Chains A and B, each alone.
Chain A
């Protein structure tokens, strides 16, 4: 069966709700009408940096840009310096926001969404080529200079369909998503902006930052409710006494979620806590229920392929990209994460990750805390050895070394001295 070569801007029934607000709901028909209204007002240009804080304005901006054939740039860093540096790479770039307080050094289009014009016919819902460049999403820059990653329309749509399958969303009972992550971040972009356009879900577009906001948002939307959040925010919710309306599931990403936090959240809110694994460059690619263990299941259409020393991620219409994490494939759709590639150390010709070694170390009986440390010249000096710092008042160094040898892959057992 051949792949579709185009997808409509919105692939949902026309009377279904895509976005929810405190005082109303935006159906497919209403959304399309509002998007056309904004598209007509957008300045000419090839690229727009979408700075909208408000989720509804953000997604209308994205849709309007698509209708006009413009590419949306998404950046979490909205400082004037960052925006000026984007302008150098994308001449003619303009910025878009609904927020009066935004100070942009670029030609700026300010707008506030208007109620849609009355329409006679169904608003046009155009087919958009799958190969069309829809967005360029920038990394946060926490690991160096921000890098932009191109996202085709087809890649974004197919990944949304994958996520919906993975999280059991059906048009008979569409999920109500409340997202605590900004729409400009790849994780928030996929789960809270793109999902409702193509999958059976609606997204809350009111405030959802403080625990009290989240509680009122969840009260305002129908079941089944899905909270899209991060480990830090789950911790904040757990520390807060606010009650939450019944939650079908919580989804976490951006950092590893500790199983004890996931278990506490599941118990407190009688829900299931899932994590998404992904990165700006590849998007969401796998999920797991945290309390079930460390095995990840890839999204249905995502393929992970070992290519020499790289782990390549492939998906429909997506640019294949190497992962910056090391994985151990268990079968075609299941893997374990071993650690960041940058954490990798070479041990007698084999790769191991410090994160993996630390995990083993901490699991040894009597070890309260510990850390492997790689000397800077480990790669160049044959006699260089990894160092281990351990807090284990009840055990001797020799005993711990013996346990480490026993637990680290026998192929590597000679490597730790």
Chain B
């Protein structure tokens, strides 16, 4: 069985969120199923833009609004990690 050495982990995406938004917490404290926006982490649309920039720099692809998808992608750390994993170019 081969292992995808590039597999994105929830831990590293949590760390990316913390670095991009200067959150005062550790990666382990962001629950994988917790909503990122509104309740939960309580991020807002400006944060989404910051996250998009960080993702573009780190993983080499640009986020796009796809109808009905943006909501899902940012629904939780788990969703965001899966989305990054299928779209990353580096």
Interface pick from B1-9, B27-35, B57-65: B57-65
Q: Is the CB of B49 within 8 A of A212?
A: no
A210 and B63 form a contact (CB under 8 A): yes
A contact residues, range: 10 to 19
Total interface residues on B, using CB and 8 Å?
Answer: 17
Chain B residues with CB under 8 Å of A383's CB are: none
Which of these, B38, B48, B62, B70, contacts A242 with CB under 8 Å?
A: B62
Closest to B55 in A: A210
Which of chain A's residues have a CB closer than 8 A to the CB of B46?
Answer: 232
**CA A232 – CA B70 in complex, angstroms?**
20
Q: Considering the complex, which residues of chain B in the window 56-82 have a beta carbon less than 8 Å from any beta carbon of chain A? A: 56, 62-67, 70-71
Contact flag A207-B71 (CB < 8 Å), given A236-B49, A236-B53, A240-B56: no
What separation, in Å, do the CA atoms of A212 and B71 have in the docked complex?
A: 17
B62: chain A residues within 8 A (beta carbon): 210-212, 240, 242
Residues on the A chain within 8 Å of B45, using CB: 182, 209
Cβ of A211 and Cβ of B65 under 8 Å apart? no
A209 engages B48 (CB within 8 Å): yes
- Chain B residues proximal to chain A, CB less than 8 Å: 38, 45-46, 48-50, 52-53, 56, 62-67, 70-71
13 A–B pairs (Cβ distance < 8 Å), ordered by A: A79-B38, A207-B65, A208-B65, A209-B49, A209-B65, A210-B49, A210-B62, A211-B56, A212-B62, A232-B46, A232-B49, A233-B49, A239-B53
Q: A residues touching B (Cβ–Cβ < 8 Å)?
A: 79, 101, 182, 207-213, 216, 232-233, 236, 239-240, 242
Beyond the given A236-B49, A236-B53, could you list 19 further A-B residue pairs with CB under 8 A, ordered by the A residue number? A207-B66, A208-B65, A209-B45, A209-B65, A209-B70, A210-B49, A210-B52, A210-B62, A210-B65, A211-B56, A211-B62, A213-B64, A232-B46, A232-B49, A233-B49, A239-B53, A240-B53, A240-B56, A240-B62
